[in-house]
Structure 1
Amino acid sequence: MSGALTALVLLPAVCGTGLLVTGRVADRIAGPVAVGVAGAGVVLAALVADARPSVSMPFLGIVDGGDLRLVVDGLSAVLVVLVAAIALLVTVFAVADLPADDARARFFGYLLLFVAAMLATVTAATLPTLLLAWEVMGATSFALIGFRWEEPGKLAAGTRAFVTTRAGDLGLYVAAGAALAATGSLALADLGRATGGWADVAAAGVLVAALGKSAQLPFSAWLSAAMQGPSPVSALLHSATMVAAGGYLLIRLQPLLAGTGWAATAAAWAGALTALVLGAVAVAQTDLKQLLAASTAAQIGFVVLAAGVGATAGGTAQLVAHAAVKAGLFVAAGAWLTALGTKELADLRGAARRYPGIGAAATVAALALAGVPPLSLWATKDEVLAGVDGTALHVVGLAAAAVSAVYAGRILAVVLARPAGDEAVDAEEPGTRRIPVLTTAVAGVLAVFAAGLGLLALPAVAEELKAVLDAQGETSPVLGELLLSGALALGVLGLTVAAVRARPAVVEWLARSLLGSWAGLGRLLSPRPALALARVLATVDDRVLDRAVMGVAASGRRLAGLSAKADDAILDRAVSGVVTATRRTADSSARIDNGLVDGAVRATARMFRRAGDAARRPQTGLLHQYYAQAVVGLGVLLVLLLVVR
């Protein structure tokens, strides 16, 4: 089954690359190819989820965990099926929704690459694999959000989203370095073994990267800009892929967060506050896609909260249920935008009545978003809140759940209302067009999942999910808590619908408030702070750094001049003096050698030569001369003897 896992990631990657390389020539076949690949992905995802295979390829051989490794365990088994299924449904929606003259090969090429990156992310077992998939996902999201780059604002929106998430992604590189320093390994499973300061650094890096990717506070505003992308991109990006990736990563690395203590607490509070604040932002929106974007950050906030409190099963269930709910609502919003030419809530009055099929699906999804029993997010939110230990955090989480019913109620109050003047509803009226059957079918399937996942409220189903995730023993909500949250959701939803219809001035006031502009979070991403910082840095560079550098250069030049003078005046003279003295000494030594030593040697040689000549003369070879010499010698000895005596 390792081949199936490899194909699960490589098939969309290779086919997506092929479509991008082929270009406009493949526009006609791009849609069917993408649907076929996505369909094959669902089959492969089901196979690997059942078999739980692994596959590895060498990459950084000198480091433990440096290979490119994909592993399917309980958590990734759930996620690969989710990602593949949502990708198939969104691809079908895109085929029906995209205009025929769009660059479809480019769109579906990037879409398939994006899906491949997310599938690699949820099966990555090592940091190199995760980083590679994380980078591809960020790059392709930029291309998809700015798909219609020639239209004003589209490319800037993609750039804003890309730069914001990339800033957070740096934390993942910091975490990789800290993991290597702490454990000597780059395997994700080994991160939980990190201790001391390196564990804190790794946890901080992971937390920043995850919060940035999932648009949690304070990074939430990039999600508003991402709404400039085509509707299928919003449906995929906001449901089971990029925005969900940060929440998934925190659930995956929950042991690291728990090991540091503070990181788990920070994650829990970041998630809870995002769920509350971005929920309030969603309430104030007048644009349906902006409302859904803010609610995405809010709903993923419950996933981050679950990771912080250790509610793995609750966080995973929230991730899955939210994907179905939010994909369905974005499909509906995209269909209405194509059909009616607007995404403004004021202009969508009665849209669900005008298009009953997709209106029914959107209604079910909105009710699930509100937390109405027995639908999915009712059960999953309570699974998350059951794991919360602490009154303050629990109250914030419960308040955020109530706010969910408020922004869901805003949607329902508008799309289910009768058109102004109680006019007859007609999908054929001028300025409108029919919604394709495929789009309605996709929304219907997602609505079924949004409703059916409410079975997670049943203890037997919840325990089965915990067994799959190896999370047995986690706290589950009791019947009283489920009933209380359901009653709260129904009550708040009813009051919201009534208030929206009776008090439209309140809604208008909220839209004009700071919440309407995403609580001012967009200012963090505006170019003005960056330009101001750049000006300050330029001033510091010109007035401090440049002057310091020039001062150092001038001092260096002066020092070099002094060194040159010292070299000429002292060192060169000293060297020249030593050379002259040495030469004189050598001349004197040469004269002594020639005059004395050589002369003494030559004189000694002459003396020995003369002595040799004198000693050779008596050697004549004549016997009588030898006798005479002996007589003379004896005479001399006799004389010496007489003298001495």
Structure 2
Amino acid sequence: MTAALLAVIGLPALAGVVLLLAGHYIEHAARALSITAAALTLVAAVTAAVAAPAVSLPFISPDGAGLAVDGLTAVLLPTVAAVVLLVLVFASAEGLRPAARFHGLMLLFTAAVTLTVTATSLPALLASWEIMGATSYALIGFRWQEARTMPAGLVAFAVTRTADLGLYAAAGAAVIAGHGWRLADLADADGPWLHVIAAGVLLAGLGKAAQLPFSFWLSRAMEGPSPVSALLHSAAMVAMGGYLLLRLEPVLLASGWAGPTAAWIGAATAIVLGIVAITQTDLKQLLAASTAAQLGFVVLAAGIGATAGGTAQLVAHAATKALLFLVAGVWLTAVGSKQLPALRGIGRRWPLVGATFLLGAVSLAGLPPLSLWLAKDAILAAALHASPALYAAGLMGAGLAAAYSAKMIAVVWAKPGLQEQADIKQGRWDTERHGTRQVPPAVTVPLIVLAVAAVLVGVLAVPGVSEPFRTMIQAQTEPESTVWELVASAVIAIMVITLVFRRGTPHFTAAADWFGLERAAQAVVVRPMFRSAEVLARLDDQLNAAILDSGRLLDRVAAGMDVLDHAVGRTLGAITAGTAALGLLARRAQTGAIADYYAAAAIVTVAAFALLIVVR
């Protein structure tokens, strides 16, 4: 079944490349090709999950690109493929254009995600991480003509890529430590290299999962189309940060410090971003903050070794959050707004869509017997075993989840106002105020499927029933939720929801802009970096000017040396010429005649006597 493993990566990659390169010529067939490729990818994912194949391909080293399907992969691979198919069906019905570019990028992004899930070696993981980051930037900025999209894509790309440097540091440390490329061997690194690897993995996972202090990039990413948000922030990009920490959980635990650090950061994110979600008045911003908060439970699970609970949370959150984002996209298209005041009572206008949203929101709230109630409690059971303080923090995050979910339900299922009731009763329907009447049937199909999944996938975490799942991912030793723990979390959720319906939610002014996390990043990182760059640029200019000045000085020195060289040359030439002339004169005296020599001797003698007489 190696073919199925290669197909789950190769099919979306090939279809995506074809659509991007030949999109202008096959624009009319782009949606059909995309959905076909996604459907075949789902078939290949299910086949690979059942057969559990493995393959090693040459990349950097003879077996550098290792791919395999194990228990964790067998759960997540079909989940990713199924969500991708449903999102692409929704996007096709919604009619995003240009279709070829959108679907090509989505499929290429899917290939990167499936490669991430199946990678068992550092080269394969790094390659998929790179492609995932690049395509996510292109998808967030898909509507590049709009003023806000490209800066949003740049912020998301810069923040996640900065955190990704941790993965490169971990890879470098692994190579130096001599443990090769295999992910399974990283926990065996010796001495300080293990801590470098753990720190790098933790940094990369926190950045991709939008955990504190990186959470703000998720707010900016909401500028992308709703299907992009539904995929990137449910089963794909953000989930891959949590998956990385679950996959390399042995590294975190072996370091001694990275596990507790991850657990507390996850718990803090669930609380802080839960408060942010409560304060939002924009539906997509609320869903974005809740995504980071919900992934906080996955990071918490990775930090305490609760692989089963973390995996169940990933799957349940993928179905729930994809559903909620897609419904937000339906309402944004119909009403033209994602502000909660404009969406008041919208669930009553489209009952079927509103019902699916209600199921997703109730699951997100942690109400029994829906999936996130069971998955979250599986994590909380492990947290209670690890630390009562951590358990209390997790319960607080769960209570906040119930609060922001209740806020959404209260708004979208609010009773219409008197004027609106009169309009509806008398058959008057102002599309500018109430939106269009109809939702395409093809749009509702993915919503219904995801709503069913949001209800049922919690079976993975049912105490006493989830044993095959725990065995598959080798997590039999993890503590299970007791009946009292399940009842306690359910009671807390019900109390919080009741309180929200009666009193509303408090408004935290500081939380409205995500506690100024982006401003803090600009103050702590961006502005000092730019100032450092300016200082270095000035230093470079001064150094360049000094080099140019020294060059000009050398030119003048060279010109002076050239003049001196010419003068010396002329002097030496004159001496040479005079010497040659004297030589000629000396040769003339050498006639060989004895009379001439006597005459010369007589002249010299006379001259000597004359000189003697004069001197004396």
TM normalised by structure 2 equals 0.85
Answer yes or no: is 1:113 the counterpart of 2:108: yes
- Give the deviation of 1:536 after TM superposition: 4.0
* 1:151 partner amino acid: E
**In the alignment, what sits opposite 2:590?**
none
- Give the deviation of 1:393 after TM superposition: 1.3
* 2:93 partner amino acid: A
Tell whether the 8 Å contact from 2:137 to 2:153 is kept in structure 1 after alignment.
yes
Which of 528, 531, 534 is residue 530 of structure 2 equivalent to? 534
Residue 134 of structure 1 aligns to a residue in which SS? helix
1:538-617 correspondence to structure 2 within 5 Å: 538-539=534-535, 542=538, 546=542
Answer yes or no: is 1:417 the counterpart of 2:414: yes
Tell whether the 8 Å contact from 1:354 to 1:427 is kept in structure 2 after alignment.
no
- Give the deviation of 1:422 after TM superposition: 6.2
- Give the deviation of 1:420 after TM superposition: 2.3
Tell whether the 8 Å contact from 1:183 to 1:193 is kept in structure 2 after alignment.
no
Which of 472, 485, 490 is residue 494 of structure 2 equivalent to? 490
Deviations 1:350-396 (CA, angstroms, capped at 9, x unpaired): 11101000100000100000000000111011100111111221111
Answer yes or no: is 1:155 the counterpart of 2:150: yes
- Give the deviation of 1:542 after TM superposition: 3.3
Residue 24 of structure 1 aligns to a residue in which SS? coil
Tell whether the 8 Å contact from 2:179 to 2:189 is kept in structure 1 after alignment.
no
- Give the deviation of 1:459 after TM superposition: 2.4
Indicate the RMSD between aligned Cα atoms, in angstroms: 2.5
Percentage of identical aligned residues: 49
**In the alignment, what sits opposite 2:516?**
520
Residue 55 of structure 2 aligns to a residue in which SS? strand
What is the rounded CA distance, in whole Å, between the counterparts of 1:246 and 1:545 in structure 2? 42
Residue 472 of structure 1 aligns to a residue in which SS? coil
Counterparts in 2 of 1:113 and 1:527: CA distance versus 1, 3 Å: farther
Answer yes or no: is 1:80 the counterpart of 2:77: yes
Tell whether the 8 Å contact from 2:179 to 2:186 is kept in structure 1 after alignment.
no
**In the alignment, what sits opposite 1:430?**
431
* 1:180 partner amino acid: V
Tell whether the 8 Å contact from 1:236 to 1:327 is kept in structure 2 after alignment.
yes
**In the alignment, what sits opposite 2:45?**
45
Tell whether the 8 Å contact from 1:68 to 1:129 is kept in structure 2 after alignment.
yes
**In the alignment, what sits opposite 1:394?**
391
- Give the deviation of 1:461 after TM superposition: 2.8
**In the alignment, what sits opposite 1:633?**
none
What is the rounded CA distance, in whole Å, between the counterparts of 2:489 and 2:515 in structure 1? 27
**In the alignment, what sits opposite 2:614?**
none
1:469-508 correspondence to structure 2 within 5 Å: 469-500=473-504, 507=506
1:51-450 correspondence to structure 2 within 5 Å: 51-61=51-61, 67-99=64-96, 102-388=97-383, 389-421=386-418, 423-424=420-421, 425=424, 429-431=430-432, 432-433=435-436, 434-450=438-454
Residue 67 of structure 2 aligns to a residue in which SS? strand
Counterparts in 2 of 1:108 and 1:326: CA distance versus 1, 3 Å: same
Which has the higher Rg, Structure 1 or Structure 2? 1
Counterparts in 2 of 1:414 and 1:541: CA distance versus 1, 3 Å: same
**In the alignment, what sits opposite 2:569?**
none
Residue 321 of structure 1 aligns to a residue in which SS? helix
**In the alignment, what sits opposite 1:462?**
466
Deviations 1:565-608 (CA, angstroms, capped at 9, x unpaired): 9xxxxxxxxxxxxxxxxxxxxxxxxxxxxxxxxxxxxxxxxxxx
Counterparts in 2 of 1:137 and 1:427: CA distance versus 1, 3 Å: farther
What is the rounded CA distance, in whole Å, between the counterparts of 1:533 and 1:162 in structure 2? 17
Counterparts in 2 of 1:459 and 1:471: CA distance versus 1, 3 Å: same
* 1:75 partner amino acid: L
What is the rounded CA distance, in whole Å, between the counterparts of 2:364 and 2:60 in structure 1? 44
**In the alignment, what sits opposite 1:630?**
none
Counterparts in 2 of 1:409 and 1:194: CA distance versus 1, 3 Å: same
Structure 2: 5+ residue stretches without partners: 562-616
Tell whether the 8 Å contact from 2:23 to 2:30 is kept in structure 1 after alignment.
no
- Give the deviation of 1:546 after TM superposition: 4.6
What is the rounded CA distance, in whole Å, between the counterparts of 1:271 and 1:15 in structure 2? 37
**In the alignment, what sits opposite 2:4?**
4
- Give the deviation of 1:463 after TM superposition: 1.5
- Give the deviation of 1:25 after TM superposition: 2.4
What is the rounded CA distance, in whole Å, between the counterparts of 1:31 and 1:427 in structure 2? 36
**In the alignment, what sits opposite 2:592?**
none
What is the rounded CA distance, in whole Å, between the counterparts of 1:268 and 1:27 in structure 2? 47
* 2:345 partner amino acid: G
TM normalised by structure 1 equals 0.81
- Give the deviation of 1:455 after TM superposition: 2.6
- Give the deviation of 1:535 after TM superposition: 2.6
Residue 398 of structure 2 aligns to a residue in which SS? helix
Residue 431 of structure 2 aligns to a residue in which SS? coil
Aligned residue-pair number = 549
Counterparts in 2 of 1:405 and 1:43: CA distance versus 1, 3 Å: same
Tell whether the 8 Å contact from 2:207 to 2:214 is kept in structure 1 after alignment.
yes
What is the rounded CA distance, in whole Å, between the counterparts of 1:139 and 1:236 in structure 2? 15
Deviations 1:552-572 (CA, angstroms, capped at 9, x unpaired): x97xx99xx9xxx9xxxxxxx
- Give the deviation of 1:14 after TM superposition: 0.4
Tell whether the 8 Å contact from 1:92 to 1:442 is kept in structure 2 after alignment.
yes
Tell whether the 8 Å contact from 1:160 to 1:525 is kept in structure 2 after alignment.
no
What is the rounded CA distance, in whole Å, between the counterparts of 2:151 and 2:543 in structure 1? 37
Stretch moving more, 517-526 or 111-120? 517-526
Residue 453 of structure 2 aligns to a residue in which SS? helix
